[in-house]
Chain A
Amino acid sequence: MFIRTLLAVTCALIFAGTGFAQEPAGKGPAPSPQAAAATATAGAQAPVALAAPAAGAVAAKAATQAPMATKVKPNRAITITMFLAIIGVTLCVVIWAAKNTNSAADFYTAGGGITGMQNGWAIAGDYMSAASFLGMSGLISLYGIDGFMYAVGPMFSFIAILLVVAEPCRNAGKYTLGDILSFRAAAKPVRAVAAVSTVTVSLFYLIAQMVGAGKLMQVLLDIPYRVSVVGVGVLMVAYVVFGGMKATTWVQIIKASLLMSGTVVLALLVMLKSGMNPIAFFTDIVSSSHIQDHVRMAVLKDALPKPGFDYGQRFMEPGLFLKSPLDQISLGIAWALGAAGLPHILMRFFTVPNAKAARKSIVVALFINSTFFFLINLIGFGAALYLTPQLISSVDKGGNMATLLLAQMLGGGAGTLGGDMFLAFICAVAFATILAVVSGLVLAASAAIAHDVYVNIVMDGKADQQTQVKVARITSLFVGVAAIIMGLMAEKENVVALVALAFAVAASGNFPAIILSLFWRRFNTAGVISALLVGTISTLALVLISPVMTYPQKIANDAKKIVVTLEQKIASGGMLAEKDMKALEKAKVEFAKNDGQTSMVGLKEAIFPLKNPGIVSVPLGFIAAIMGTLMFRNKRAEDMFDEVEVRQITGLGIAKATDH
């Protein structure tokens, strides 16, 4: 009965979504700084650079291979067939899961009936998001080794989870972050704050995924951004509302295996193309004139080459994307600690029967993901070499289409059956990836609202199973709709930066709260709340005044620099090449457009110098936790620590899914 109502609502939503999508596109938010910088330089120079005479045999080879396309054009019929196949299979899973979802434990944790191996694939799937599959290889293809350094963080974050978080949380928790944190603290306020934090982190992450989804489908199926966001959103809502954790987990497992197969094949083709010789592969990369031009003009912004500087080798050296050392450390902190505080990952520990299975699932996930990120590095560098950064950034400023373009090319090129098939397969995999990841996020956010806020705060924990499942389903619906709307509004944001922000919030708020709850006797209600509030708010505040925001004045100043440099050259009697003339024109336009404008919070330039706030916000979170705890000592919390500790170490009294 209830399910039928929901089905009707879903249908109405699809209908409403289509209508909404047909509205004329409004003024989107300002593009991210990376994207803006790329627009200012690479966009203008790309076609010119491609046409420039290539020096060196290797570069000449790359030049002839670089197509001039500015769009990925998959074969619609093949792509749609593959998309439908994935939707069909996953919906079958959802129907099966819906039949077996009767209790709150079924809905949130699949009744604790997932094995360690299955959960490992599902956790790995949560990490292998579209942002990493598309965004990370894109970063590598545009910024070289810095993009690869980006991949180490998520891989390494498993160590903290494996050693200090997964097993204790499995032993001491039930469904959500709020369950762990409220164990010996005043339940209601802690649950409320934990729910706010969970929803914030999950929505950040969700928006990134939705934007990725929208852009991807827009390019692949040639449908408007709005329609694609709404389409993905509706499917995601259907998975979660009807299938709960069981469906979400199995969709994640299916996607993870598809994604790994696609990645392995793609990386293998890159290696085959380079003659299975990694040294020759990297030698080709550093001697590619396209990569050299890209590093010189688009990244380092040397309008004229510095004599004797090896711009190709520079691609293999750090500092092109993460320019400030402190920023790299800050980002490292966010990854190393943040993953352990991500609610949708945390929730996965509860889907397995015990701590041993939780341990196994993390180890499995670590192996899968390390392999994945290693392969992504080959794909990213392969894309830079075989497609050229100019082409990649001309299709998408943030480089997000690199993997797809590479698949098309390695499959045989645009228009060939092989190219079309392989591109369609990779597109379908990316699509499945997005669906699976967003579902997990919606589930985590709605668990926080339904389980923590509604059942435990509003209803004092007195709700029968039927009501709990019903509330969870309604909440999922609302969270899903909210995610769709926010996805529509955040079209121009850089997806990788948004994911990094989610990690920073999780590292600064959730992580201190979790770790101190499990290991510090004195930790209490005041500590939990101050950690979550200070961690979350300081992260968000720092981001708002950080260089991640768009500062039109800075764009204007950069453009002015180019104008001045080039005009000086003219003034001193030098002749400008055609590409420099175009760069000059472009820079003048950029300057006129952005001069005198301010950022979202009214700033001319960033106050906080780092893109990633972790290095400041994580210590702030910990300091707040400790100060809050010491200011409001609580004897009950301290007395109960023995119980928490014995539980988390031994697993005695572990919450069994069937107990509730």
Chain B
Amino acid sequence: MSTKTYNWSEIAQNPKYLELKRRKRAFLFGWWLVSTVFYFLLPVVAGYFPELFKIKIIGPVNFGYLFILSQFVVAFFVAIYYTKVANNDFDKRTEALILEIQ
């Protein structure tokens, strides 16, 4: 096991830690909620508003098909955006915090 022991409850009160935790929670759960709502729109619309799904947009390609494709786009977006925020913000804050403790 790690040779170093930490005072966990002390770290848990560190302002840098609290700020990191607040930012992470807001971002992660916020985006999780948004993307999940968008994801569940798909079965809800398909199931309860199938008329919307059936609207032909380009030839036989209907709104439903494009809506499914949009799910892929949203997933890509969330993944890229999160990577960016994590690399530029969360990771730096974590490093600063660890530096201060050790």
Name the residue of chain A whose CB is nearest to the CB of B91. A356
- By a CB distance below 8 angstroms, the chain A residues around B72 are 152, 155, 370, 373-374
A329 to B45 alpha-carbon distance, docked (Å): 10
C-alpha gap A659/B20 in the complex (Å) = 27
B60 near A282 with CB under 8 A, answer yes
Known contacts A159-B35, A642-B8, A366 near B71 by CB under 8 Å: no
A565 within 8 A of B: no
Q: Which of A159, A283, A659 contacts B78 (CB 8 A)?
A: A159
Q: Which of B2, B28, B60 contacts A313 (CB 8 A)?
A: B60
Known: A145-B68, A164-B29. 14 other contacts (CB 8 A): A145-B64, A152-B42, A160-B32, A313-B54, A316-B65, A325-B43, A328-B46, A356-B91, A370-B72, A645-B12, A646-B12, A647-B8, A656-B2, A659-B1
Residue of A nearest to B59 (CB): A279
Q: Please tell me if the beta carbons of B21 and A649 are within 8 angstroms of each other in the complex.
A: yes
**A-B contacts, 25 listed (Cβ < 8 Å):** A149-B42, A152-B68, A152-B71, A156-B39, A159-B36, A159-B78, A164-B28, A279-B60, A316-B62, A317-B50, A317-B53, A318-B50, A322-B46, A325-B46, A326-B47, A328-B46, A329-B47, A356-B91, A359-B82, A359-B86, A360-B83, A367-B79, A650-B20, A653-B4, A659-B2
A331 within 8 A of B: yes
The answer to whether A652 touches B6, judged by C-beta atoms less than 8 angstroms apart, is: yes
Q: Known contacts being A163-B32, A359-B86, A642-B9, is A282 close to B61, with CB within 8 Å? A: yes
Classify the interface of chain A: helix, strand, loop or mixed: helix
Q: A279-B59, A318-B53, A649-B20 are in contact. Are A332 and B79 (CB under 8 A)?
A: no
CA distance A527 to B89 in the complex (A): 34
Complex CA–CA separation, A651 to B17 (angstroms): 12
Residues of B within 8 A of A326 (CB): 47
Contacts of A370 in B (CB 8 A): 72, 75-76
- Distance in Å: Cβ of A604 to nearest Cβ of chain B: 27
A324 at interface by CB-CB < 8 Å: yes
Does any Cβ of B come within 8 Å of A319's Cβ?
yes
Q: Looking at the complex, which one of B1, B4, B61, B79 makes contact with A278 (CB distance below 8 Å)?
A: B61
- A162 B12 Cβ-Cβ under 8 A: no
Return the CB mask of A349-367 against B: 1 if under 8 Å, else 0: 0000000100110110011
Question: Chain A residues with Cβ under 8 A from B91's Cβ?
Answer: 356
**Complex Cα–Cα for A645 and B40 (A):** 29
Q: Nearest B residue to A329 by beta-carbon distance?
A: B43
CA separation between A487 and B28, bound complex, in Å? 40
CB-defined contacts of A312 to chain B, threshold 8 Å: 60
The 9 closest A-B pairs by CB, nearest first: A325-B47, A328-B43, A643-B8, A318-B46, A642-B12, A286-B60, A279-B59, A282-B60, A163-B32
A377 to B9, CA, bound (A): 51
Point out the residues of chain B lying under 8 angstroms from A278, CB to CB. 61
Known: A325-B43, A325-B46. A148 touches B68 (CB 8 A): yes
Which has the most chain A C-beta neighbours within 10 Å: B56, B64, B80?
A: B64
8 Å CB contacts to B: which residues of A271-327? Answer: 278-279, 282-283, 285-286, 312-313, 316-319, 322, 324-326
- List the interface of chain B (C-beta within 8 A of A): 1-2, 4, 6, 8-9, 11-12, 17, 20-21, 24, 28-29, 31-32, 35-36, 39-40, 42-44, 46-48, 50, 53-54, 56, 58-62, 64-65, 68-69, 71-72, 75-76, 78-80, 82-83, 86-87, 91, 94, 97-98, 101
Number of chain A residues whose Cβ lies closer than 8 Å to a Cβ of chain B: 56
Set of chain A residues within 8 Å of B11, measured between Cβ atoms: 642, 646, 650, 652
A653 to B102, CA, bound (A): 12
Minimum Cβ distance to chain B for residue A507 (Å): 13
Number of A-B contacts (CB under 8 A): 163
Nearest chain B CB to A300's CB is how many angstroms away?
Answer: 14
Kindly list chain B residues whose C-beta atoms are within 8 Å of the C-beta of A313.
54, 56, 60
- Least CB separation from A650: chain B residue: B94
Give chain B nearest CB distance to A146 CB in angstroms. Answer: 8
The yes or no answer to A549 lying at the interface (CB within 8 A) is no
| B-chain residues with CB within 8 Å of residue A555 when the two chains form the complex | none
In the complex formed, the residue of B with least CB distance to A156 is: B39
Cα distance A362–B80 when bound, in Å? 11
Give, as a whole number of angstroms, the nearest-CB distance from B99 to chain A.
11
- Residues of chain B within 8 A (CB-CB) of A642 are 8-9, 11-12
Q: Which of A159, A164, A653 contacts B2 (CB under 8 A)?
A: A653
Report Cα–Cα, A642/B79, bound state, in Å.
Answer: 28
Separation of A100 and B79 alpha carbons in the complex (Å): 34
B43 touches A331 (CB 8 A): yes
- Complex CA gap A282/B94 in Å reads 50
Closest Cβ of chain A to B32, distance in Å, is: 5
| B64/A317 in contact, CB under 8 A | yes
Contact with B along A149-179 (1 / 0, CB 8 A): 1001001101110111000000000000000
Q: Flag whether A336 is at the interface (Cβ < 8 A).
A: yes
Docked complex Cα distance between A649 and B20 (Å): 8
Evaluate contact between B64 and A158: CB separation under 8 angstroms.
no
B residues near A316, Cβ cutoff 8 Å: 60-62, 64-65
B79 touches A159 (CB 8 A): yes
Contact A159 B75 (CB under 8 A): yes
Given contact pairs A156-B39, A319-B50, A366 touches B60 in the complex (Cβ within 8 A): no
